[in-house]
Chains A and B, each alone.
Chain A
């Protein structure tokens, strides 16, 4: 993974870079938005404004940003409880996400879902699921709906390497292969399922081969490199849209923060985290590439940095001024009233 920092832009042909200048600028901006948003969320948590569980995505931004660049309207996204980055990547408003974290009426779930439970049908984001691995058959079901309706949309189904040991994940791989469902299984391998390293949890040494018994093609991808992520994503999406069934991507990534806010992170060394941050950070890598190989200036990046900072600050302000849900909301949204 460390090679990412010095890698030159590359593509399928010798001349054409894998990402255009505009695309890489866009990726940089989206990754930075997630990073700054999550830092702010961590801060609001520290102030007691966000309660319960809060799983930050810091370090893993390239995965969801690179893959979302491969999607089109109508495609679906579903993930676990480490979901803030996925929501921002699909274009959900920072305000609505942050206000949900603070449990306010302006949140995507009117404050009734919290960090792990947000949805946007409009943006194709189907959660936000708190039960480890549960989103995988649900994601296969989103793909099933595409299959049933006969469209060429795909369902991006994210889960961690910890969840990859769940029985329902293997049931989903089988079902997806059996019905040739257009689902991309994305294993975000950040090396630790809470405090248990992948080596201590999974006898499978190469998770990209976990779909092999069902004939599902898989790839290992440097998930700290947004260009590599997008390239692999394009291959996966093309495979699915063509009706060839599911595809599996193992994204080798890393989270800098604890599993959740209350994780002392004693299962890994500070040096390990520091090394990843210094040598493989997806945002630093993209920034360096933009400056050195794409002719982008510091001033241009500053504009992006300021825009992102303003969005995040605005979301934090909104999340503190939006009122708590009215007490009458306690008994709403339990059942849809019959027509």
Chain B
């Protein structure tokens, strides 16, 4: 004897009306036969038999309202070999309650993000490894050298994007790579970001290690579904089976006088996503060491460059094996009165501000985040425990920006160490204007950083 149960016809259905029986007692039923109609608040649906046999009794007459899901509604005398419905042997497992999920999430969050992971007392940061001799190179050269070195080391690494090959790169980042590696590894793409980003992610699923250049990150919005839904989430959705070793790189943020659609800061957008790593280098050494690490990393990495930095020159280690760890911030300048935290081009602004503040007798510590996600909150907290004051500086918009996240984490980790509320210096909360004077006003300025420091130091 097999019981036929009131089925759930949608994820949210708990009860329904048994509107009509299409079979009567004594009827022979085959799998797939429509036996009844059920009405819910949303729709009328048919119930199909999953087992075969003879309908021996109808337990719930038609027209009955509010029949709870899993109530036995009829009984079937199974034919020879008919498998009994599992329901007859075992009650359905209760659906987990929403509160259960909440509790799990809270436990997990505490476990992952808890202050316990950060030393309670200020401890010295591990000193940056000494890579020996350096030479001055531009950020542009550093990026190209990083890609060339990784492509020499690993035949699975290739570069694709618009104008990366024959044109030598829209911003000349890939200069010379086509000559060295040939058209199979330095591949020009048509202007079709959604398509080629998906294609690169598919290739990465098989173990290849694509570097996808976006001419600028503004165009990554065309492809953002593949970056988030396909690249970032598949490892989790596959229970750890299918990784996606891919690097998305290109200039991010404001260039100069290209207006709203071509001047946007994406750090906050991508840093929001579990499953992505987000890097934003400032110096040539950051660019080279971190791009090499990004290409080697088995996860999808967003590598946010800055067009204005491309031509700037910094000392960079010459060691063949130079690479920097993802997830470690760098204290660019030590100080004792205030912590300035920034990334990408505004690290330079903070360095200028620190210089100006020194002249006023204020000692500023400058932290170059290098990696946005995972955020090196330990280095920030260590600094704040020393200076008791923090100012964040970024080109991005203030709402739900990186500064907001840092301020919140500082509150979570070292609230008692603060002598003043954190202050954010951000891009203005407007689309980027074209006019030269307005554009200047929309981006963080030196005097704003100095003013913010004066505010937190009450000077």
Contacts and interface: CB of A to CB of B under 8 A. Distances in A.
B87 A137 contact: no
Given A42-B50, A137-B198, A137-B199, A145 B81 contact: no
Given A140-B199, A141-B198, A109 B239 contact: yes
A46 B323 CA distance: 55
A145 B242 CA distance: 15
B241 A119 contact: yes
A131 B238 contact: no
A339 interface: yes
A174 to B, nearest CB: 7
A45 B8 contact: yes
Contacts, number: 216
A297 to B, nearest CB: 17
Interface in B315-361: 326
B95 A121 contact: no
A78 B202 contact: yes
Interface string A142-162: 111100100000000000000
A156 to B, nearest CB: 13
Contact of A335 (B200, B225, B277): B277
Interface in A234-268: 256, 258, 261-262, 264-266
B413 interface: no
Nearest to A110: B239
Contacts of A172: 195, 198-199
A317 interface: yes
A137 B104 contact: no
B370 interface: no
Interface residues of B, number: 76
Contact of B236 (A78, A118, A138, A334): A334
Nearest to B202: A141
Nearest to B13: A262
A180 interface: no
Contact of A144 (B107, B199, B236, B275): B199
B230 A129 contact: yes
A107 B239 contact: yes
A167 B194 contact: yes
Most chain A beta-carbon contacts within 10 A, residue among B7, B45, B236? B236
Interface in A112-152: 112-113, 117-121, 126-131, 134, 136-145, 148
24 contacts: A43-B86, A44-B86, A49-B93, A108-B239, A117-B234, A119-B241, A126-B242, A127-B234, A129-B230, A131-B229, A134-B229, A134-B230, A137-B194, A137-B196, A137-B226, A148-B208, A172-B195, A175-B192, A256-B32, A258-B45, A262-B13, A264-B44, A265-B46, A334-B275
Interface of A: 39-40, 42-49, 51-53, 76, 78, 107-113, 117-121, 126-131, 134, 136-145, 148, 167-168, 171-172, 174-175, 178, 256, 258, 261-262, 264-266, 270, 277, 306, 309, 312-313, 316-317, 320, 327, 330-336, 338-339
Given A43-B85, A113-B238, A264-B42, 9 more contacts: A127-B238, A128-B237, A137-B195, A137-B198, A138-B205, A138-B230, A148-B184, A174-B195, A175-B192
